[in-house]
A = this chain, B = another copy of it.
């Protein structure tokens, strides 16, 4: 009867950084007893610039065993750990959710517009919770959002320390430092495997404390004669609070801009995590009438996102807020790899309008990563000293670097388990072996729905992003006869203004193609296809590129 084992199934997060979702299954013999889920986040795939907003975990694997799910534990309130709850909660059989205070608040708010009402328990620390054969104990740690937790998961087959996103912040600006006693005690009592954040495994040293940034805000605000504008991730409540505290000190009205920024700060205020005196709570309209040195704007859009609050300010689309000389814009977050162009374009734009723009390339201590660096990661290994280590929340490069660190600490390579998404591990008393791989696919979500973006669409978007697009419009009359010179537009291909001749030639080519055939165009579809093919070849010969060519007809 003692024949217990645990299967660990990463449905995401393990090599993709985001889309975190982990399945712990407890078996007795070959019989599945209980399932415990940890996190349920959205992912930001490489295709995100192609109009895919995000991806969610593929839970096909769980579909026929939702009755065994004993709980869904959420470690912290970042989108890549909780964002998929609205999409998957019902499909998972509406499991009870266990999480911390702020995270509970975020989740409850998130599901509102989805008409689902999850059962959420705010956990207490220093207490064991039972989930069938699993026992879980929540441990407060530090990250870039308050109320982040690690989870000690005890099972008859051994104990696991689930340790996603964290840094060892000894001086967090709010809340307590990591509970070192609980962490080390977990190690003392014996751990079979530690699943550890590995995202910072390429960075030397310890990650800076979040509180470093507060001093920087204060110093910069002191020197600012105009408006003070700070942008960061809207979930980084600690940082936002530090900026607010500086604003309060200098008696500046605080104005939050951007939907997520307003929502998150409102929720945090409600539970006392963001105390701002009523007199300094500003509205967007106030920005137009207050003296610039009485304004502190805290704005979404730090990644240069199209149409974000900061983007609109930079593009002069916000009528209440115009950048003037003397204003200062602080980017308190680094560009996520892939977003550099958008961010630097924004910086350029803001600078041109007279703002002094401060970002981490020119000023250190503006942004402290929320993820531990090598020394943080090594400390956790030493604190917990499990038999196995399993890096999560990074990519393959981070996994490998994490493995090297573990080897430096005396682990054998084999005891550092590097899994791809869907690859599983069996854990039994004091041992681990690879299990069958679970098939997963990306479920795309965009503004229009879940899963309706297929591969064809993505391929087009891919082309668009790398080669640009040419649109040829053929203008016909009611009888289908071409009545004007075809109109050619392009975006992202070659710069139109300098290429009049090229487009002129293309238009002539279309005329030449169509005219000789017939006065009356009968098969519009065939015509479009043929014209597109001719244009594709033309542009390739002329410029060596293959833009996406779209041909359409307009009847006048």
Contacts and interface: CB of A to CB of B under 8 A. Distances in A.
Given A171-B409, A408-B171, A409-B170, A382 B205 contact: no
Contacts of A180: 180, 184, 187, 382-383
Interface in A163-218: 170-171, 177, 180-181, 184-185, 187-188, 205-206, 211
A375 interface: yes
Interface in A378-437: 378-379, 381-383, 408-410
B206 A375 contact: yes
A188 B381 CA distance: 20
Contact of A184 (B184, B206, B375, B409): B184
Given A180-B383, A181-B187, A170 B206 contact: no
Interface of A: 170-171, 177, 180-181, 184-185, 187-188, 205-206, 211, 375, 378-379, 381-383, 408-410
A177 B181 CA distance: 17
Contacts of A378: 170-171
Give the number of copies in the complex: 2
Given A171-B410, A181-B188, A205-B206, 17 more contacts: A170-B378, A170-B379, A170-B381, A170-B382, A171-B408, A177-B382, A180-B180, A180-B187, A180-B382, A181-B184, A181-B185, A184-B184, A184-B185, A205-B205, A206-B206, A211-B408, A379-B379
A220 B151 CA distance: 45
19 contacts: A170-B375, A170-B378, A170-B379, A171-B378, A171-B408, A171-B410, A177-B382, A180-B180, A180-B382, A180-B383, A181-B184, A184-B185, A185-B185, A205-B205, A205-B206, A206-B206, A206-B375, A211-B408, A379-B379
Contacts of A408: 171, 211
Contacts of A205: 205-206
Nearest to A177: B382
Contacts of A177: 382
A374 to B, nearest CB: 10
For A180, A378, A379, A382, the residue with the greatest tally of chain B CB atoms inside 10 Å of its CB is A180
A227 to B, nearest CB: 31
A355 to B, nearest CB: 32
Contacts of A410: 171
Contacts of A206: 205-206, 375
A188 B179 CA distance: 10
A188 B379 CA distance: 19
A184 B409 CA distance: 21
A171 B410 CA distance: 8
A409 B379 CA distance: 19
A78 B84 CA distance: 58
A134 to B, nearest CB: 24
Q: Which 3 A-B pairs have the closest CB atoms?
A: A181-B188, A181-B184, A170-B378
A410 B381 CA distance: 27
A177 B187 CA distance: 14
A100 B409 CA distance: 24
Nearest to A408: B171
A205 B205 CA distance: 7
A214 to B, nearest CB: 12
